[in-house]
Every structure is written in structure tokens, then in C-alpha cells.
Amino acid sequence: MRILHLETGRHFYGGARQAGYLINALAARGIDNLLVCGEGHVLAETADARVFQWHLGGDLGASLQHRLIGLARTENPDLIHVHSRRGADTFGGRAAKAAGIPAILTRRVQSAEPGLCLQLKYRSYAAIVAISAAVENDLLRLGIPRDRLRLIPSAVDIVSFRPDADARARLVARYRVPEDALLAGVAAQLIPRKGHDFLLRCLRDVLATESRTSAASRIYALLFGQGPREEKLRREANRLGLGDRVHFCGFERDWPGLLPGLDLLLHPARREGLGAVVLEAMSAGVPVIASRVGGIVDAIEDGVDGRLVAPDDLAAWCGALLDLLRNAGERERLAAAARRKVESRFTIDRMTDSYVELYREITSHARGRQR
């Protein structure tokens, strides 16, 4: 079987990382992979595929659609798998239809698009994969037929993301924080829906209510990620008096080697398809406090393997954060339960099994129609 993958994201964030997991797992099973991605993308180095690096500037549209049609006709894959948006979800399906090749799309985010627009955009796809029940329900509400939807949760590399006692020292050395600091990490693009602005207010209130000798007073926040709001968030952190407590760490390629050193992973997103970073923290043995939104509720059961809090509820977030900062035993209990959950429900093998089954179903139907 030969699969042509299309991943047009600019950065190696959750969606692109998931595409890489899948491509490499498929290759290990003997499936031939082709990958179209942007010039210089990390996937070009890490994916076990024949890679086509294209210039992806501005909105993606007609010119890339024609290139994809040409590539599909030349390479003749059995199926085209579109992994990203930025216009790729539109031109990818159209290109596949023009080339006479079945296509599927993985949808990772909840939609603000009108239902009719989404129905027209997605009519070229044999199936649309939702990564969480929230995304699936969103697509159903917008009129996508149930028989064209599949629910395949995202996965985490439980080998790369695992507890590591040495990670703490690496974090302390790299970001020059006190050795007795309580380290709360946030890993997300610096964009409004990820809730960084809210989190800064939460940190201010936590520090303002604690005595200097308390555990919570030792909190430092490490913000991993890039995005257009970085300068604004830096100014806001300084305005709130958090300049020495908040570190903007940028994109960190050694994320798996640093994540286990955190005491907490905070994910105050206002919308989220599933939240790959939540799964990564759970796999790494780091307790999570996250917003009760979107697909995050598929990953975390509140009080069992993490904490869920209403988005933008300042009092509730401060309470949950203070509770875990003060209680190392509770952090350890949640982290152990979370690791057990990802090992049983969110592995790469399990995700790959589901995609291979879908590929076979779609290609079998396509061959049947050609007879």
C-alpha cells in the first residue's frame, strides 16, 4: 500500500508530530509513504517517507492543488491522507478527486466555519477522522454525515515521553531557576485560544495570596512555544510583576527530555481538539491541570488522572493550582494514574491500527467502484 501524506503546518506542533508518529509506524509495517510538507520542516528530517518539500507561502490554493494533482498522477498512491488545514483541507480533497484517488482528512480542531461551507469543502473526502468526541460532535452538528466520520484519538510516544529523574536538573540548568522551585510548564502556540493571558493573571493571584515561606510561593512558569502574541505576553508578565517568574522558552526540540522535569503541566486553553501536549505530560509522569473544553475531557478524568477546570474561571484555576502546589503526594498519585491511562488507550500502535483499518476499507471500496 502506498499513502501520500499532506502536512502543510509551519511548525512541529501537535498535528505535525502526530503525522510523524503515524508515518513512521506505517513504514515499520511495510507501508510505502510519500510526504508533502513545507521547505525545511522538521518532518522532512524525521519522517520515514519519500519527502517532497514545497514552498508554502501565504494562503494555500490553486497552484499547490495543481502540483498535488501532478504528483498524485505520477506516483499513483492508493490513498491521499491530508493532515492539516491552512487551505490544505480544501485543495487536498479537490486534488485527490481530480486525480481519481480516494482521500481522507484528519480534523484536529473544533470549527467556527458555517456548516454549509464545511460540507462543500469536505465532500471530496471518503472519510473525515475526528481526533476526539468533541471534534466528532462538532462535525455532526455542522452537517457532516455520520457514516463519513471516524473517531481515532491522537497518540503519544510512550517511549520518548516517559518519567526521567534527570530531567529536573536539565531544566534548572537551562533556565536558571532555583533548585527548590516548583516548575509549572505551558507548551502551546502563543495565540489567544491557548489562554496564556489568563494564566498570567492566575499566577499573579497565586503569588499574591501566598506567604513567602509557602510551597506555592516557589512557583516558576516556563512557557514553551512560539506565536504572534509573544511580545504582548512579555509586556503583560512585566506589568503584572511576574518578570522573574515567567520564562519564555520558545520552541524546544528537546521537549521530551525536559518535560519530565516539570512539577505540573498547565493547559488553560479556551478551545482544544484534544491537546497532544496533555497526553505527552501524562505519559511523562507530569500531573496536569487543564481546561474542561473540547477533547481534553477524553484524556483526563477530573480527580482521577488530572484536574479539569472551567476555562477562564480565575478562582477555580487558582484553587486547583494552589491545591497541587501544596500537595506533592496528590501530584504523584495523579501522575501515576495518568501514565497508566496513556499506556492503555493512547499508544501509537493503537492509533496506527485504526488508520490501517480505515485505509483498507477506503481503498477496498475504491477498487470495487472501478470494476
Of the candidates 41, 39, 33, 48, the residue with the CA atom closest to the CA atom of residue 15: 41
Question: What is the predicted pLDDT for the residue at 114?
Answer: 73
Question: What is the predicted pLDDT for the residue at 263?
Answer: 98
Pair (113, 176) in one structural domain: no
Residue 261 lies in a domain: yes
Q: What is the 3-state secondary structure (H, E, C) of the chain?
A: CEEEEECCCCCCCHHHHHHHHHHHHHHHCCCEEEEEEECCCCHHHHCCCEEEEECCCCCCCHHHHHHHHHHHHHHCCCEEEECCCCCHHHHHHHHHHHHCCCEEEEECCCCCCCHHHHHHHHCCCCEEEECCHHHHHHHHHCCCCHHHEEECCCCECCCCCCCCCCHHHHHHHHHCCCCCCEEEEEECCCCHHHCHHHHHHHHHHHHHHCCCCCCHHHEEEEEECCCCCHHHHHHHHHHCCCCCCEEEEECCCCHHHHHHHCCEEEECCCCCCCCHHHHHHHHCCCCEEEECCCCHHHHCCECCCEEEECCCCHHHHHHHHHHHHHCHHHHHHHHHHHHHHHHHHCEHHHHHHHHHHHHHHHHHHHHHHHC
Residue 39 lies in a domain: yes
Reported pTM: 0.88
CATH number for the domain spanning 61: value is 3.40.50.2000
Strand bridging mode 50-54 / 32-38:
parallel
Pair (183, 313) in one structural domain: yes
Residue 184 lies in a domain: yes
Pair (340, 316) in one structural domain: yes
Question: What is the predicted pLDDT for the residue at 275?
Answer: 87
Q: What are phi and psi of 39, to 5 degrees?
A: -60, 130
Residue 214 lies in a domain: yes
Pair (218, 326) in one structural domain: yes
Residue 30 lies in a domain: yes
Question: What is the predicted pLDDT for the residue at 212?
Answer: 64
Cα angle 142-297-233, degrees, rounded to a multiple of 5: 90
Question: What is the predicted pLDDT for the residue at 112?
Answer: 66
Q: Are 281 and 262 in contact (CB under 8 A)?
A: yes
- Extract the C-alpha cell encoding 269: 486553553
Pair (174, 136) in one structural domain: no
Pair (127, 225) in one structural domain: no
Domain membership of residue 16 as a residue range: 2-155+348-370
Residue 162 lies in a domain: no
Please list the ranges in the chain whose pLDDT falls under 50.
none
Pair (325, 363) in one structural domain: no
* Tally of domains within the chain: 2
Pair (303, 205) in one structural domain: yes
Residue 341 lies in a domain: yes
Question: What is the predicted pLDDT for the residue at 268?
Answer: 97
The string of pLDDT tens digits covering residues 66-124 is: 999 999 999 999 999 999 776 788 889 999 999 999 999 999 887 667 777 788 888 99
Pair (133, 238) in one structural domain: no
Residues whose CB falls within 8 Å of the CB of residue 308, separated by 6 or more in sequence, listed in order = 289, 290, 291, 292, 296, 297, 300, 302
Please classify residue 225 by burial: count the beta carbons closer than 10 Å to its beta carbon, then call 0-12 exposed, 13-18 middle and 19+ buried.
Answer: buried
Residue 253 lies in a domain: yes
Question: What is the predicted pLDDT for the residue at 58?
Answer: 58
Pair (23, 150) in one structural domain: yes
Sheet containing 127-130, strands listed edge to edge, beginning at the edge strand earlier in sequence = 50-54, 32-38, 2-6, 79-82, 103-107, 127-130, 149-151
Pair (341, 215) in one structural domain: yes
Pair (18, 131) in one structural domain: yes
